[in-house]
């Protein structure tokens, strides 16, 4: 991380802090004040000293963010650490992680222990605290399937609360923390329930190809993690090398009639039936609209995965928005489908 970050403790708050290292699209922006509390008590202290009227932003590693302009008020980058086993029974093990833990460190640790549940979510950028915020998902698995509870600090009451998984209002890339209760709670930690005997989910195409022929007990979380990492590295740019915020749009869900009509016009349409409708592959729509590997100024849609918007260097949020608007307009014109931005826009 950049030297411009303050050390992880509550006493130091950096004024006019550079956020370039705290967003993986590497957009230039500044925070009026930035603090990095490393415990819940430090976080509570920072909040107690804050004027409740001033804006408050929480960022993890900034891997799912578009910072549109400088952030007023107080920005928190949580540095709450720690990964521990909480309890176990014959079948499951429960583990807890601080919000500031790097997500893939958590996946690597659990998989190495032989615990199963997080392997499909390997190499997703970001922190453990950000994982429930957008209900991270990949290769057929969503965090909601293994989440036991989320621990938060209530910004309004200053109390620590726990939300069980079924209280988090999880949906595709969504939760109450991202939607209905945005700004109300600061996620300080998560608790997950993992399996001690593997029952890996290998239904996703490339995993099916690698493991589909094996009996369930022979598919190890370590092997699935390795495969997932290989697939990700072949398609998704490493934000440390090429700035990006992962998928820039959600995969849109249309109703059955719309999907049927599109299928008649575009027989190759990539579509997955869901309980709520038919999910379309936004990457396919963007590629068909001609944007795969194409640039507009310093930004472009990635050459290996058209859903990922990349910053080739020196981009501003205006460049990002111009490309996103152009892609959205072309997909709408060609397919009549509206793409919704996936990363959170701040402020």
User: What are the residues binding ligand EPU (CB under 6 A)?
Assistant: 138-139, 235-236, 246-247, 250-251, 270, 281, 283-284, 287, 292, 305-307, 342
Distance CA 258, CA 245 (A): 29
Please indicate whether residue 176 is annotated as part of the active site: no
Tokens linked to 332: 């709408």
Please indicate whether residue 220 is annotated as part of the active site: no
- Which of 42, 119, 142, 342 does the annotation list as catalytic? 342
Provide, rounded to whole angstroms, the least separation between the CB of residue 290 and ligand EPU. Answer: 12
Q: Which is nearer to ligand EPU, 96 or 131 (CB)?
A: 131
Provide, rounded to whole angstroms, the least separation between the CB of residue 302 and ligand EPU. Answer: 8
Residue 255: exposed, middle, or buried by beta-carbon count in 10 A (0-12, 13-18, 19+)?
exposed
Tokens linked to 59: 């960022």
Q: Which is nearer to ligand EPU, 62 or 283 (CB)?
A: 283
Long-range contacts of 167-172 (CB under 8 A, 24+ apart): 168/132, 168/135, 168/144, 170/132, 170/135, 170/142, 170/143, 170/144, 171/135, 172/135, 172/137, 172/142, 172/250, 172/251, 172/253
- Which of 247, 287, 317, 328 does the annotation list as catalytic? 247
Q: Which is nearer to ligand EPU, 63 or 77 (CB)?
A: 63
Q: In angstroms, how far is the first alpha carbon of the chain from the final one?
A: 22
Provide, rounded to whole angstroms, the least separation between the CB of residue 231 and ligand EPU. Answer: 8
Q: Which is nearer to ligand EPU, 2 or 234 (CB)?
A: 234
Provide, rounded to whole angstroms, the least separation between the CB of residue 340 and ligand EPU. Answer: 10
Provide, rounded to whole angstroms, the least separation between the CB of residue 264 and ligand EPU. Answer: 19
Provide, rounded to whole angstroms, the least separation between the CB of residue 9 and ligand EPU. Answer: 31
Provide, rounded to whole angstroms, the least separation between the CB of residue 307 and ligand EPU. Answer: 5
Q: Which is nearer to ligand EPU, 202 or 236 (CB)?
A: 236
- Which of 30, 173, 176, 225 does the annotation list as catalytic? 173
Q: Which is nearer to ligand EPU, 236 or 315 (CB)?
A: 236
Q: Which is nearer to ligand EPU, 153 or 280 (CB)?
A: 280
Please indicate whether residue 173 is annotated as part of the active site: yes
Q: What residues act catalytically?
A: 173, 247, 342
């Amino acid at each position: 991380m950049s030297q411009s970050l303050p050390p992880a403790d509550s006493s130091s708050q950096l004024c006019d802090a550079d956020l370039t290292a705290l967003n993986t699209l590497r957009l230039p922006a500044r925070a009026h004040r930035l603090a990095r509390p490393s415990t819940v008590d430090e976080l509570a202290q920072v909040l107690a000293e804050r004027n409740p009227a001033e804006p408050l932003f929480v960022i993890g590693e900034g891997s799912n963010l578009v910072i549109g302009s400088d952030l007023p008020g107080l920005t928190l980058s949580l540095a709450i650490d720690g990964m521990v086993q909480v309890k176990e029974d014959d079948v499951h093990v429960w583990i807890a992680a601080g919000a500031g833990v790097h997500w893939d460190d958590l996946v690597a640790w659990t998989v190495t222990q032989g615990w199963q549940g997080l392997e499909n979510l390997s190499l997703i950028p970001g922190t453990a605290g950000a994982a429930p915020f957008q209900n991270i998902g990949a290769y057929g698995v969503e965090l909601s399937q293994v989440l036991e509870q989320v621990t938060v600090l209530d910004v309004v009451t200053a109390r620590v609360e726990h939300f069980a998984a079924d209280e988090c209002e999880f949906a595709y890339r969504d939760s109450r923390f991202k939607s209905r209760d945005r700004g109300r709670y600061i996620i300080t930690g998560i608790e997950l329930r993992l399996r001690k005997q593997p029952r890996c989910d290998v239904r996703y195409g490339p995993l099916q190809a690698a493991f589909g022929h094996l009996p369930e007990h022979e598919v190890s979380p370590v092997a699935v993690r390795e495969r997932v990492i290989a697939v990700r590295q072949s398609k998704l740019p490493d934000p440390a090398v090429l700035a990006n915020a992962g998928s820039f749009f959600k995969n849109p869900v249309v109703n059955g009639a719309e999907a049927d009509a599109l299928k008649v016009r575009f027989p190759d349409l990539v579509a997955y039936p869901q309980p709520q409708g038919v999910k379309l592959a936004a990457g396919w729509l963007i590629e068909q609209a001609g944007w795969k590997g194409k640039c507009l100024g310093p930004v472009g849609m990635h050459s290996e995965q058209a859903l990922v918007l990349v910053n080739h260097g020196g981009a501003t949020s205006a460049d990002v928005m111009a490309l996103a608007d152009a892609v959205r307009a072309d997909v709408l014109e060609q397919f009549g489908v509206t793409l919704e931005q996936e990363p959170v826009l701040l402020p």
